[in-house]
């Protein structure tokens, strides 16, 4: 049985960063995400996932750990609105257990400051979103072109339960 391709989340994660500094509700503080922070791989194989919102068609991750095992994947360097970052996700089976940001490049000092505030929230939000297991996304009507880049399209591929 093929497990949900959790690495698809890597592309979407970059998008979380751009806004969390602006929104009022940001779930748990960084503390909830700090467990295991910086530890990177937790004993599994390492691989590279393809970033981007439609990664299923653009590449396959190198990870090959059996379902249920601990594994990590690093996303490609992503533009996130204020600079570039890459995200490394550690998962145990389908469950995301940690998120780290090994690469962060910003153009301006302001962006660096903003990013340093945003990224701890990014981690907690990704972890929260994973545990939330949403079934759908409600938003202003997207065009069929915009659908391809949407979180709903990622969900349709992920079969998140």
**DSSP-assigned letter for residue 56:** G
Check residue 53 for interaction with other proteins (CB under 8 A). Answer: yes
Closer to other proteins by Cβ: residue 7 or 16:
16
Query: How many Cβ atoms from other residues are within 10 Å of residue 42's Cβ?
Result: 14
96, 90 contact by CB (below 8 A): yes
For the chain, how big is the Rg over CA atoms in Å? Answer: 15
Among 45, 92, 97, 150, binds other proteins (CB under 8 A): 150
Rounded to the nearest whole angstrom, what is the least distance from the CB of residue 9 to other proteins in the complex?
10
Check residue 146 for interaction with other proteins (CB under 8 A). Answer: yes
Site for other proteins in 20-39 (CB under 8 A): 20, 22-25, 27
Closer to other proteins by Cβ: residue 13 or 99:
13
Check residue 115 for interaction with other proteins (CB under 8 A). Answer: no
Query: How many Cβ atoms from other residues are within 10 Å of residue 96's Cβ?
Result: 19
Alpha-carbon gap, residue 96 to 70, rounded angstroms: 10
Closest among 111, 90, 109, 91 to 101, alpha carbons compared:
90
Residues that bind other proteins (CB under 8 A): 1-4, 12-16, 18-20, 22-25, 27, 53, 125, 128-129, 132-144, 146-147, 149-153, 155-156, 159, 161
């Amino acid at each position: 049985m093929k497990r949900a391709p959790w690495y698809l989340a890597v592309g979407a994660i970059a998008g979380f960063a751009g806004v969390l500094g602006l929104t009022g509700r940001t779930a748990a503080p960084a503390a909830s995400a700090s467990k295991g922070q910086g530890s990177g791989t937790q004993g599994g194989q390492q691989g590279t996932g393809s970033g981007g919102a439609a990664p299923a068609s653009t590449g396959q991750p190198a990870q090959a750990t059996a379902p249920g095992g601990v594994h990590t994947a690093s996303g490609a360097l992503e533009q996130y609105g204020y600079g570039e970052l890459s995200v490394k996700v550690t998962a145990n089976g389908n469950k995301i257990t940690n998120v780290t940001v090994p690469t962060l490049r910003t153009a301006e000092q302001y962006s660096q400051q903003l990013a340093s505030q945003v990224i701890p929230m990014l981690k907690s939000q990704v972890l929260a979103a994973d545990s939330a297991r949403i079934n759908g996304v409600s938003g202003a009507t997207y065009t069929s072109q915009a659908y391809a880049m949407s979180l709903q399209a990622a969900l349709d591929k992920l079969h998140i339960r």
